[in-house]
C-alpha cells in the first residue's frame, strides 16, 4: 500500500508521519476532521477507516524529508503497544539530522517510560483546550484538563509545546499560570475551525485577548490560526 505524506494543517512546515494511527478518545471536534479524513481509507485499510488504534510497521522506514515531522498525527500514540513505541523512537533516533519531531498525546504520562530514549530533536506536545474539568467529558474521553496538565508538567523533558486548539472557555489567570509553569517553547492557539459541524463552549474574544496579553508579558511565544481576524498582540498568525 502506498504511503501518503500529508501536510499538517496545525504546523505549517510539518509533514505527518503515521507509523501508528487511530484513537479512542472520541473528541467531538475530531469527528469532522481526523475521523472524516479516515473514511477515505475504506478501500486501503479497514482499521484506518474505523479510526481504530493500529500499527503500520511498513511505515517505520518512511520518515518524511521535512523540517518538522509530526509523529502519529492521525491518532494518539498512547494507544500503541509500548514495544512498538520503542520501535518508533528507534526510527526517530536513526533518522538523518536537520529534522524536528513533534510527539503529541492527550495522555502525557504514557510517555514517561520513554523519556530516556528521546533525542533532543523531539518536542513533546499535548493539547490543553481549557483549564476547566467540569463538562469536559461531554467533549472528549481524554484525561481531564487538570490531569493532563499535571502529567505534562511532570515530564522531565527540555522541549515542550502546548496546543490550545480548539479553545474551550477557560479561567484566564489560572490557565495562563498553567502554561507559564509548563514553560513551553511556544503555544499554538486557535478557535474551533469546524463551526458548521460542531458547536463548542468557546471563550469570548475579550477573554482571549487578556489571556494572550498575560502570556506575552511572561515571554511565551504564541503561534496560531483560525483567529477570525482578531488582532491579538504578539501573535504569529499562520492562517485565518
Is residue 239 predicted with pLDDT exceeding 60?
no
Q: How many angstroms separate the Cα of 157 from the Cα of each of 3, 17, 78, 152, 188?
A: 31, 22, 17, 10, 19
Query: Does residue 2 lie within any of the structural domains?
Result: no
Q: How many other β-carbons are positioned within 10 Å of the β-carbon of residue 72?
A: 27
Query: Does residue 123 lie within any of the structural domains?
Result: yes
Its pTM surpasses 0.85: yes
Per residue in 130-181, pLDDT (tens digit) is: 999 999 999 999 999 999 999 999 999 999 999 999 999 999 999 999 999 9
Measured CA to CA, the distance from residue 240 to residue 222 in angstroms comes to: 15
Can you spell out the DSSP letters for 4-54? P-EEPSSSTTEEEE-SEEB-SS--GGGIIIIIHHHGGGTTT-HHHHHT--E
Residue 36 has a pLDDT of 54
Residues 6+ apart with CB under 8 A from 214: 172, 173, 176
What CATH number corresponds to the domain at position 178?
Answer: 3.20.20.70
Query: Does residue 199 lie within any of the structural domains?
Result: yes
Q: How many angstroms separate the Cα of 226 from the Cα of each of 30, 166, 189, 192?
A: 16, 9, 8, 7
Query: Does residue 6 lie within any of the structural domains?
Result: no
Q: How many angstroms separate the Cα of 65 from the Cα of each of 7, 10, 62, 96, 105?
A: 12, 18, 9, 9, 23
Per residue in 169-219, pLDDT (tens digit) is: 999 999 999 999 999 999 999 998 777 778 899 999 899 989 999 999 999
**Residue 35 structural domain:** 12-237
Query: Does residue 91 lie within any of the structural domains?
Result: yes
Residue 1 pLDDT class (50, 70, 90 cuts): very low
Residue 2 has a pLDDT of 38
Strand partners for 102: 70, 123
Q: How many domains does the chain have?
A: 1
Q: What is the dihedral of CA 229, 234, 239, 240, to 10 degrees?
A: -10
Measured CA to CA, the distance from residue 182 to residue 91 in angstroms comes to: 28
Query: Does residue 24 lie within any of the structural domains?
Result: yes
Query: Does residue 3 lie within any of the structural domains?
Result: no
Query: Does residue 143 lie within any of the structural domains?
Result: yes
Cβ atoms of 22 and 84 closer than 8 Å: no
Amino acid at each position: 500500500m502506498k504511503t501518503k505524506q500529508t501536510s499538517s494543517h496545525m504546523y505549517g512546515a510539518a509533514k505527518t508521519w503515521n507509523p501508528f494511527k487511530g484513537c479512542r478518545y472520541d473528541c467531538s471536534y475530531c469527528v469532522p476532521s481526523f475521523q472524516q479524513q479516515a473514511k477515505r481509507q475504506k478501500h486501503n485499510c479497514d482499521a484506518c477507516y474505523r479510526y481504530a488504534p493500529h500499527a503500520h510497521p511498513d511505515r517505520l522506514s518512511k520518515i518524511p524529508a521535512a523540517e518538522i515531522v509530526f509523529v502519529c498525527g492521525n491518532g494518539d500514540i498512547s494507544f500503541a503497544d509500548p514495544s512498538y513505541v520503542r520501535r518508533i523512537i528507534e526510527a526517530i533516533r536513526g533518522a538523518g539530522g536537520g529534522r524536528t519531531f513533534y510527539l503529541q498525546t492527550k495522555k502525557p504520562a504514557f510517555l514517561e517510560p520513554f523519556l530516556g530514549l528521546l533525542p533532543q530533536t523531539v518536542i513533546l506536545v499535548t493539547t490543553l483546550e481549557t483549564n476547566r474539568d467540569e463538562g469536559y467529558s461531554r467533549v472528549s474521553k481524554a484525561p481531564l484538563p487538570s490531569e493532563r496538565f499535571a502529567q505534562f508538567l511532570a515530564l522531565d523533558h527540555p522541549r515542550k509545546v502546548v496546543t490550545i486548539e480548539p479553545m474551550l472557555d477557560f479561567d484566564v489567570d489560572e490557565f495562563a499560570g498553567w502554561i507559564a509553569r509548563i514553560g513551553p517553547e511556544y503555544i499554538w492557539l486557535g478557535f474551533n475551525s469546524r463551526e458548521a459541524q460542531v458547536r463548542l463552549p468557546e471563550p469570548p474574544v475579550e477573554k482571549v485577548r487578556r489571556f494572550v496579553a498575560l502570556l506575552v508579558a511572561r515571554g511565551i511565544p504564541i503561534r496560531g490560526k483560525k483567529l477570525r481576524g482578531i488582532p491579538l498582540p504578539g501573535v504569529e498568525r499562520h492562517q485565518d
